[in-house]
Structures are given as C-alpha cells and as structure tokens.
C-alpha cells in the first residue's frame, strides 16, 4: 500500500545545533503537510506544501517539497529547547483524500 517513510526516528541535539527530518513517499503526492506534537500534546498543523520544488520558511524552520513531489524535508536552524517534540509529515496521495502520516521524528534538545 501507499507509505510515507520518515527518518530519523529520534534525534538528540545540543541547543544551537541544526536539525533535519526527511520524508519519502512511495507515490506522488498532491501535497505534503507538517505537524508538531509537543510531549503529552496533540499534533498541530505547521505548514502545507503543494508545488513541485516548493520551499517555505517559518522563522528558523525551512520546509522543502521535492521536484518529483515524493519527498520532503524540515530543517530547523539553531535549535532551541522550545523545539522539543515530535515532527510528523503527512502526505496526500493524488488518488485519495486520505492523509498518510509518517512515523514521526522525536527531537530532544539539550540546553
């Protein structure tokens, strides 16, 4: 079936270091979304990418959508302790309205 793979599963960084998580889909996606879940909380929508090769920025966060619309990445520059949480990508395949979530990357930041 359709899958969205996300790596790494866990990442521990020192505060101030950069962080990147990657998503790869087995099929072409209509769009890809990113969510953040704080410890003990629920996923919260961050951003949606729709166009091939699209790049969007939110302060220290940079989101990219691949040219083939099968992969995406989230890069955080100079991590802070407030960045702690699990980041999920979620892809919307072109032939269905069902979002498929990646497994998530849990980020720990040491102060």
Partner 1 sequence: NAGVTQTPKFQVLKTGQSMTLQCAQDMNHEYMSWYRQDPGMGLRLIHYSVGAGITDQGEVPNGYNVSRSTTEDFPLRLLSAAPSQTSVYFCASSTGTTSNIQYFGAGTRLSVL
Residue 37 CA to chain centroid, in angstroms? Answer: 11
Q: Which is nearer to partner 1, 49 or 109 (CB)?
A: 49
Question: Minimum distance between the CB of residue 16 and partner 1, rounded to whole angstroms?
Answer: 28
**C-beta of 21: minimal distance to partner 1 in Å?**
12
What is the contact surface with partner 1 in residues (CB under 8 A)?
A: 1, 6, 9, 31, 33, 35, 41-45, 48, 88, 90, 92, 97-104
Bridge partners of residue 62, in order along the sequence: 57, 75
- Report d(CA 87, CA 37) in Å as an integer: 6
| Minimum distance of partner 1 from residue 43's CB (angstroms) | 5
Identify which of residues 53 and 94 has a Cβ nearer to partner 1 in the complex: 94
What the block records as the tokens of 11 is 């990442």
Spatial contact of 55 and 62, defined as CB atoms under 8 Å apart? yes
DSSP state of 68: T
């Amino acid at each position: 079936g359709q899958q969205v793979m996300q790596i790494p599963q866990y990442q521990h960084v020192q505060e101030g270091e950069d962080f990147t998580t990657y998503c790869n889909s087995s099929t072409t996606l209509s769009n890809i979304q990113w969510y953040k879940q704080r410890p003990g909380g629920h996923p919260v929508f961050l951003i949606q990418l729709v166009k091939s090769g699209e790049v969007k920025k939110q302060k220290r966060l940079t989101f990219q959508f691949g040219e083939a619309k099968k992969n995406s990445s989230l890069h955080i520059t100079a991590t802070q302790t407030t960045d702690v949480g699990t980041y999920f990508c979620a892809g919307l395949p072109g032939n269905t309205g069902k979002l498929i979530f990646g497994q998530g990357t849990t980020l720990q930041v040491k102060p």
